[in-house]
Amino acid sequence: MKRVVFILLILVISAGTGLTGQEISEGVIKVKKCNDFEVTGRGDSPEWEKTGWVFLTPRRERPITYETKAKVLYSDTGIYFLFDNEDRILTTTMTADNLNLWEEDVVEVFLWPQEDFPVYFEYELSPMNYELAILVPNYKGQFLGWLPWNYEGDRRTRRATSVRGGEHKSGAKVEGWIAEFFIPYKLLEPLPNVPPKSGTRWRANLYRIDYDQGMTPFLWQHTEGTFHDPERFGTFIFE
């Protein structure tokens, strides 16, 4: 009897939200609409109060359990992300954009606007505010990133980072760090299904990597092996 009630409850929830049971199990973020705002690296805009936190969890074999959480909003011009990362040591020595940032502390976002088009966007940001923005053609698991061309003006991201409980420098002992960034739709052209409108669905995932005790991945939706596993991404639904 309890099982029947549980199944009926799931069906009612699914009908009320417009989501199928499969989508609920895979993970969904309902991305709320916002006005454009300044990116400060502190997440102090009142616009962030419009949405709640999504929590990322470490892979089971890793002992670190630092709290890692993120928020997502979208406007008429682009999509905003905010990551709050508990940490103890800033493992970050790279001092330029477009390097192998994933080899040190970093947050990452993958955006796949249309599933029948095997190209998605990957964005990485280090605690020292260095970025990697690439388009990734991924055909049957074979993938390679391409850097943007004419990356200036309204095609550039806006990003900033901050640290709490310590100095903002390589190797510093801290309590955590924050990454805040804005990805303009102009940068995502010519991907299909961009810009989103109310009801648009994108596949997406959120990641963090920490190196306090070796490489520890934190994930919103867990993938197998590599992060480049788009079939296991979650879903953004733009409200």
Q: Could you list the pLDDT tens digit for every one of the 239 residues in the chain?
A: 333 333 332 333 233 333 333 333 349 999 999 999 999 999 999 999 999 999 999 986 667 889 999 999 999 999 999 999 999 999 999 999 999 999 999 999 999 999 999 999 999 999 999 999 999 998 777 778 899 999 999 999 999 999 999 999 999 999 999 999 999 999 999 899 999 999 999 999 999 999 998 899 999 999 887 898 999 999 999 99
pTM summary value: 0.88
Residue 3 pLDDT: 34
Number of helical H runs and strand E runs in the chain: 3, 13
Quick check: helix, strand or coil at residue 180?
Answer: strand
Residue type, 11: L
28 CB contacts (<8 Å, ≥6 apart)? 19, 234, 235, 236, 237
Residue from 42, 48, 44, 208 nearest 125 by CA: 208
Residue 17 pLDDT: 34
d(CA 49, CA 69): 14
Residue with tokens 């999504």: 54
Q: Where are any strands of DSSP class E within 156-225?
A: 158-164, 176-184, 201-210, 216-219
Residue 62 pLDDT: 67
d(CA 117, CA 122): 15
Domains of the chain: 27-238 (2.60.40.1190)
Strands 234-238 vs 201-210: parallel, antiparallel or unpaired = antiparallel
d(CA 148, CA 130): 15
